[in-house]
Homo-oligomer: A and B are copies of this chain.
Amino acid sequence: MAPTLDTVFSALADPTRRAILQMLLEDDMAVTDVAEPFEMSLAAISKHLAVLTNAGLITQEKRGRVKWCMLEPDALKSASVWMQGFGQFEPVNLDAFEAFLERELGGEPS
Contact = CB atoms under 8 A, between A and B. Distances in A.
Interface of A: 5-6, 9-10, 12-15, 18, 21-22, 25, 71, 73-74, 76-77, 79-93, 96-97, 100-101, 103-105
Given A5-B15, A5-B18, A85-B25, A80 B100 contact: no
Given A82-B100, A88-B103, A88-B104, 7 more contacts: A12-B79, A22-B85, A73-B86, A73-B90, A80-B84, A81-B97, A91-B100
A25 B82 CA distance: 12
19 contacts: A5-B12, A10-B10, A12-B83, A21-B86, A25-B85, A71-B86, A73-B90, A76-B83, A76-B92, A77-B92, A80-B80, A80-B87, A81-B93, A81-B96, A85-B105, A87-B97, A88-B100, A88-B101, A91-B104
A71 B24 CA distance: 34
Contacts of A76: 83, 86, 90, 92
